[in-house]
């Protein structure tokens, strides 16, 4: 059954909460001033499903919305306001989870599922359990697959190396080889990726 603008509706006339979440997340991310945000959201979801084709809807929603705070200018955090990068990343993750919590309330997501989505997004930068690690790895791989060319253009070589070393180091060791096969249109970026992987390999073993 369809509602306004083709939205999926339940038999009682209410929109399915999963469809509601997916539509609202995609709508907000499309408004982001960070150009890589929309493709990164979809690419993170893609990598989640490559790493675990059986990932449930809870993980899929978390993957799609994990960085949503960057798309909400009125609530977006700025790295310059933090003295420590890890503190910034932790605050970013919690802020994204808080924004998703508001959307989940609006979409009437059942509490057990809403709590798990919130937990996954809070932990998406650090992992710590099988499900959170899957999201962390999908996000990290997507940085190299989609985000790095944007980041390089915006921030330059040195900052991209620092960000790349941090990102590569947080990928679970058995998934790092996936990044080694990536190539870019730019020879400079291809060399940069090789330099990051080489330096990270010496650092992490």
CATH number at residue 144: 1.10.3210
**If the chain, 205 residues long, is cut into consecutive pieces of 10 residues, what is the mean pLDDT of each piece?**
40 69 97 96 98 97 97 93 93 97 96 97 96 98 98 95 95 96 96 95 71
**Residue whose C-alpha is closest to residue 83's, from 91, 72, 73, 93:** 91
The answer to whether 24 and 41 are in contact (CB under 8 A) is no
Q: Give the pLDDT score at 14.
A: 45
Phi-psi region of 161 (alpha: psi -120 to 50; beta: other; left: phi over 0): alpha
Q: Give the pLDDT score at 130.
A: 97
Q: Give the pLDDT score at 204.
A: 62
10: containing domain: 4-204
Q: Give the pLDDT score at 5.
A: 42
Q: Give the pLDDT score at 205.
A: 55
Q: Give the pLDDT score at 15.
A: 59
Domain count, the chain: 1
- In the chain, which ranges are continuous DSSP H helix? 17-30, 37-51, 57-65, 85-106, 111-122, 130-142, 148-155, 157-169, 177-180, 187-204
The answer to whether 189 and 149 are in contact (CB under 8 A) is yes
């Amino acid at each position: 059954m369809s509602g306004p603008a083709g939205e999926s509706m339940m038999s009682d006339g209410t929109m399915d909460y999963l469809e509601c979440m997916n539509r609202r997340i995609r709508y907000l991310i499309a408004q982001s001033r960070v150009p890589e945000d929309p493709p990164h959201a979809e690419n993170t979801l893609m990598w989640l499903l490559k790493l675990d084709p059986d990932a449930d809807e809870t993980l899929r929603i978390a993957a799609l919305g994990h960085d949503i705070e960057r798309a909400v200018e009125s609530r977006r955090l700025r790295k310059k306001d933090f003295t420590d990068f890890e503190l910034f990343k932790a605050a970013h993750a919690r802020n994204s989870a808080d924004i998703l919590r508001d959307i989940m309330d609006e979409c009437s997501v059942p509490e057990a599922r809403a709590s798990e989505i919130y937990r996954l997004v809070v932990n998406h930068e650090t992992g710590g359990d099988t499900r959170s690690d899957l999201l962390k790895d999908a996000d990290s791989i997507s940085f190299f697959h989609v985000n790095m060319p944007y980041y390089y253009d915006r921030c330059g070589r040195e900052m991209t190396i620092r960000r790349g070393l941090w990102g590569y180091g947080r990928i679970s060791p058995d998934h790092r080889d996936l990044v080694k096969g990536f190539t870019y249109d730019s020879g400079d970026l291809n060399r940069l990726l090789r330099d990051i992987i080489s330096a990270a390999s010496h650092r992490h073993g």
